[in-house]
RNA sequence: GCGCCCGUAGCUCAGCUGGAUAGAGCGACUGGCUACGAACCAGUAGGUCGGGAGUUCGACUCUCUCCGGGCGCACCA
């Protein structure tokens, strides 16, 4: 409702300015006034025009207000302060629109839907190296990505979710080295180990977590001579993995696939699902690079360097670099090494051409992991038929941490250089800062923390060092904590034993997801159990609790939210309930509820889910406030009771919807 | 050396394309449960928005500079 009125106000204002001053402004600054007494919508446009029109802002504002007249949805306009133009909404009309059934549905491609609807988007997130357990840093990635997917879908976009699997990289090679050479095991042993872990209900990703840390340490723990040999072993192993069709690669395939399954299971606990898992092995074996290389040479993005330190390499100019014609660019990015092998960025360019459907090649597809409602596919050299098709998206979003912004910029630069400017413009590096541990948390976990690290505000998590909090451990810990709370409160009555575990899980996941989403993307999260295990204040459970409170009202009143909204529509007159000191907080709640579409559009256009997290919290806060002040069930005036019930109904509807966009369930009881 | 990010209340963070008196949560202190269950609510204290200069009618927001912290800048992935 709010977004719609905002647009109408802007349009009307624009036409007034055109008629009155012959001014044609592209954008008109709007703001939400600091207090409700100033109205619900305001513009400081008069300040801007003061110089141009050689008049005082107050005079201009008054002239504009006079010209605005009256139109639907607005109660009136006024000049305030030094020249603000404040718009007061027609509250009763606003309530009617907001309560309306049409507005309660997820905005689809229709009137009022965001401009971005109808786009085919591709979101890549999670992308954990399949050589160890997922940790809290990966959780931030996956939760941000999954939430953004939900937001895009809510905005009417068709979204494919991809999780890129680097199954032939050094990280997997390291675990294989550890397995074959450090532990002296074989391919047959790998099969045995997987069976054994399965039978004992143990986690292969946990096993690899330790092995990876051990191997990483092993590379540098011998004599210089030994270390040299170990390093060689490492690169030989890596090449065997890239090559494929050998026993080492088979071990890698076995272990990495098992770890990958574990990652999918971990993410499923958080309600995170994927459509497709493209793997690096297929990008290599299906020779994606060869096709990309031709295009890159043809368009002149890549050139062969004949001199300097990059002699013998195919290189590209870095973004922003200004090199005079004919000058040697030593700073160029190497894409093909002098030995003919391609670098990571090169492979990434090929992969991204595929994402936009510009490569002229496709993966093979095989089903890999079944969700209740759909199948997740994985890349294969020779796929199954029939299969869905992925790639060929109009817009892509890569959820990758901020440290990789340079390589990401290189890929975008390459696309632009090849003439794919539209695609480059719709390529979003959805970057976010890392999750680190507070020194206190690290000590608590029993890690050796140096004096130097103790003095820091936070310490970076490192899979290589085995330093971090594993995702499943954290989830387990959260569930234990929420279960204790649920039991202490006897949620659902003394005999509701069965349901309590489910509720505890819903609350635990809600707490975790909200915790990862409340921070804006570019702030480093210094992880601490105290904060993450908190269920009070600005947390997921706080919002879930507001939902439960609202539901309890309808349960006790023996009615439903939907029925009460219909009843409100039948009420001839309720404007009186929206006026006066006592009603301000009620109107504030309606107004907040009406801002949903605006918030959604903001989140999508800025790639920032945190705004929705904040919106949901504020909505819950205003509802709790309302809940406390106005006792609904004892209200004697039937019309007012209907109005109050409808208010709770809208709050409930909006809270549940906002939580669902955040990937958080709304429990029936708490 | 070059590039990016951050610095706002004791702590953790919001602050939309510059706009009205800089907000929230936690922590501290005070008060409120025989209410629609207190995972809640009300109140108090707490800020030279890292320092300085500039642009502007107006700067937490833009520019420059300095200080402090973090992360990138491979023929590694």
ipTM at complex level: 0.96
Half-sphere exposure (CA, 13 Å, Cβ side) for A535?
19
Whether the predicted pLDDT of A108 surpasses 60? no
Q: CA torsion, points A444, A171, A517, A345, in degrees to nearest 10?
A: 150
What is the average per-residue pLDDT within A587-599? Answer: 95
Tell me the CA–C1' distance in angstroms for A513 and B62. 35
Distance CA A507, CA A487 (A): 13
pLDDT at A494: 62
Whether the predicted pLDDT of A650 surpasses 90? yes
Helix/strand/coil for A357: coil
Whether the predicted pLDDT of A106 surpasses 60? no
pLDDT at A320: 79
A628 touches strand B (CB under 7 A): yes
Measuring alpha carbon to C1', the residue closest to nucleotide B35 is: A631
For A209-231, the pLDDT digits (tens) are 999 999 999 999 999 999 999 99
Tell me the CA–C1' distance in angstroms for A60 and B56. 19
Tell me the CA–C1' distance in angstroms for A633 and B8. 43
Q: Which of residues 387-446 of A touch strand B (CB under 7 A)?
A: 402-407, 433
Tell me the CA–C1' distance in angstroms for A587 and B40. 21
**Is A309 exposed, middle or buried (CB count within 10 Å of its CB: 0-12, 13-18, 19+)?**
exposed
The structure tokens listed for A96 are 């009617």
pLDDT at A450: 85
pLDDT at A127: 97
Domain ranges (residues) in chain A: 2-89, 129-152+394-402+425-670, 164-273, 288-349
Tell me the CA–C1' distance in angstroms for A456 and B64. 30
Tell me the CA–C1' distance in angstroms for A625 and B43. 14
Could you please state the CATH topology (level 3) that the domain comprising A129-152+394-402+425-670 is classified under.
Isoleucyl-tRNA Synthetase; Domain 1 (1.10.730)
Whether the predicted pLDDT of A100 surpasses 90? no
Contact assessment for residue A436 and residue A527, using Cβ atoms and an 8 Å cutoff: yes
Nucleotide nearest to A522 (CA to C1'): B5
A117 touches strand B (CB under 7 A): no
Considering only A97-101, A443-447, A545-549, which range has the smallest mean pLDDT? A97-101
What is the average per-residue pLDDT within A368-379? Answer: 97
Tell me the CA–C1' distance in angstroms for A597 and B47. 34
For A128-163, the pLDDT digits (tens) are 999 999 999 999 999 999 999 999 999 999 999 999
Whether the predicted pLDDT of A495 surpasses 90? no
Mean pLDDT over each residue of chain A, to the nearest integer = 92
Considering only A117-131, A263-277, A562-576, which range has the smallest mean pLDDT? A562-576
Considering only A179-193, A246-260, A277-291, A309-323, which range has the smallest mean pLDDT? A309-323
Whether the predicted pLDDT of A26 surpasses 90? no
Helix/strand/coil for A20: helix
Nucleotide nearest to A320 (CA to C1'): B3
Whether the predicted pLDDT of A112 surpasses 80? no
pLDDT at A116: 65
What is the average per-residue pLDDT within A505-516? Answer: 97
For A330-346, the pLDDT digits (tens) are 889 999 999 999 999 99
Instruction: Give the CATH number of domain A2-89; options: 3.30.1360.70, 3.40.50.720, 3.90.550.10, 3.30.70.270.
Output: 3.30.1360.70
Whether the predicted pLDDT of A105 surpasses 60? no
The pLDDT-based confidence of A111 (bands split at 50, 70, 90) is very low
Nearest CA-CA partner of A517 in A638, A402, A607 = A607
Measuring alpha carbon to C1', the residue closest to nucleotide B41 is: A628
pLDDT at A444: 86
pLDDT at A114: 54
What is the average per-residue pLDDT within A229-246? Answer: 94
**Is A571 exposed, middle or buried (CB count within 10 Å of its CB: 0-12, 13-18, 19+)?**
middle
Nucleotide nearest to A401 (CA to C1'): B71
Tell me the CA–C1' distance in angstroms for A80 and B31. 38
């Amino acid at each position: 409702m709010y977004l719609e009125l905002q647009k109408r106000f802007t349009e009307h204002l624009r036409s007034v300015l055109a008629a009155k001053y012959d001014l044609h402004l592209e954008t008109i600054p709007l703001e939400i006034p600091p207090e409700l007494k100033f109205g619900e919508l305001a513009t400081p446009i008069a300040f801007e025009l003061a110089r141009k029109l050689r008049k005082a802002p107050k005079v201009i504002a008054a002239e504009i207000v006079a010209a605005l007249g009256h139109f639907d949805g607005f109660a009136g306009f006024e000049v305030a302060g030094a020249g603000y133009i404040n718009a007061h909404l027609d509250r009763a009309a606003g309530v009617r629109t907001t309560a309306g059934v049409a507005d309660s549905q997820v905005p689809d491609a229709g009137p009022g839907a965001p401009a971005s609807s109808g786009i085919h988007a591709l979101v890549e997130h999670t992308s954990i190296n399949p050589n160890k357990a997922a940790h809290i840093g990966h959780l931030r990635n996956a939760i941000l990505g999954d939430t953004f997917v939900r937001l895009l879908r809510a905005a009417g976009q068709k979204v494919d979710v991809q999780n890129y699997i680097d199954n032939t990289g050094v990280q997997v090679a390291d675990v294989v080295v550890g397995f074959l050479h450090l532990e002296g095991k074989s391919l047959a042993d790998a099969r045995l180990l997987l069976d054994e872990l399965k039978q004992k209900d143990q986690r292969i990703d946990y096993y690899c977590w330790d092995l990876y840390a051990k191997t990483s340490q092993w590379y540098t723990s011998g004599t210089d001579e030994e270390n040299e040999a170990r390093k060689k072993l490492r690169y030989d192993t890596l090449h065997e993995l890239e090559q494929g069709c050998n026993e080492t690669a088979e071990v890698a395939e076995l272990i990495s696939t098992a770890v990958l399954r574990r990652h999918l299971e971990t993410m499923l606990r958080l309600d995170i699902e994927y459509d497709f898992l493209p793997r690096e092995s297929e990008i290599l074996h299906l020779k994606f690079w060869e096709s990309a290389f031709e295009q890159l040479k043809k368009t002149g993005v890549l050139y062969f360097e004949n001199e300097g330190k990059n002699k013998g390499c195919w290189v590209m100019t870095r973004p922003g670099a200004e090199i005079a014609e004919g000058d040697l660019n030593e700073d160029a990015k190497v894409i093909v090494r002098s030995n003919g092998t391609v670098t990571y960025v090169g492979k990434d360019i090929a992969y991204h051409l595929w994402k936009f459907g510009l490569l002229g090649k496709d993966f093979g597809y095989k089903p890999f992991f079944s969700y209740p409602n759909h199948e997740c596919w994985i890349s294969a050299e020779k796929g199954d038929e029939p299969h869905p098709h992925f790639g060929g998206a109009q817009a892509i979003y890569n959820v990758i941490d901020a440290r990789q912004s340079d390589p990401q910029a290189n890929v975008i630069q390459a696309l632009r250089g090849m003439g794919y400017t539209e695609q480059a413009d719709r390529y979003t590096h959805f970057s976010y800062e890392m999750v680190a541990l507070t020194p206190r948390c690290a000590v608590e976990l029993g890690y050796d923390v140096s004096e130097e690290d103790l003095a820091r505000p936070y310490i970076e998590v490192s899979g290589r060092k085995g330093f971090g909090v594993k995702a499943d451990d954290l989830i387990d810990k959260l569930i234990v904590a929420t279960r204790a709370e649920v039991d202490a409160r006897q949620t659902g009555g003394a005999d509701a034993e069965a349901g309590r575990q489910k509720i505890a899980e819903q609350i635990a996941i809600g707490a975790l997801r909200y915790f990862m989403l409340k921070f804006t993307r570019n702030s480093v999260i210094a992880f601490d159990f105290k904060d993450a295990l908190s269920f009070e204040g600005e947390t997921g459970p706080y919002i879930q609790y507001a939902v439960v409170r609202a539901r309890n009202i309808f349960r006790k009143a023996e009615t439903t939210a939907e029925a009460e909204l219909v009843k409100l529509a039948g009420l001839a007159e309720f404007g009186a309930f929206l006026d006066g000191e006592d009603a301000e907080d009620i109107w504030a709640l309606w107004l907040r509820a009406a801002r949903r579409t605006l918030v959604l559009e903001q989140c999508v256009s800025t790639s920032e889910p945190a705004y929705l997290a904040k919106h949901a919290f504020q909505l819950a806060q205003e509802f709790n406030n309302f809940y406390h002040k106005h006792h609904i069930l004892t209200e004697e005036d039937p019309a007012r009771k209907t109005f109050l019930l409808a208010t709770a109904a809208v709050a409930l509807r909006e809270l549940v919807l906002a939580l669902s966009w955040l990937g958080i369930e709304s429990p029936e009881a708490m």
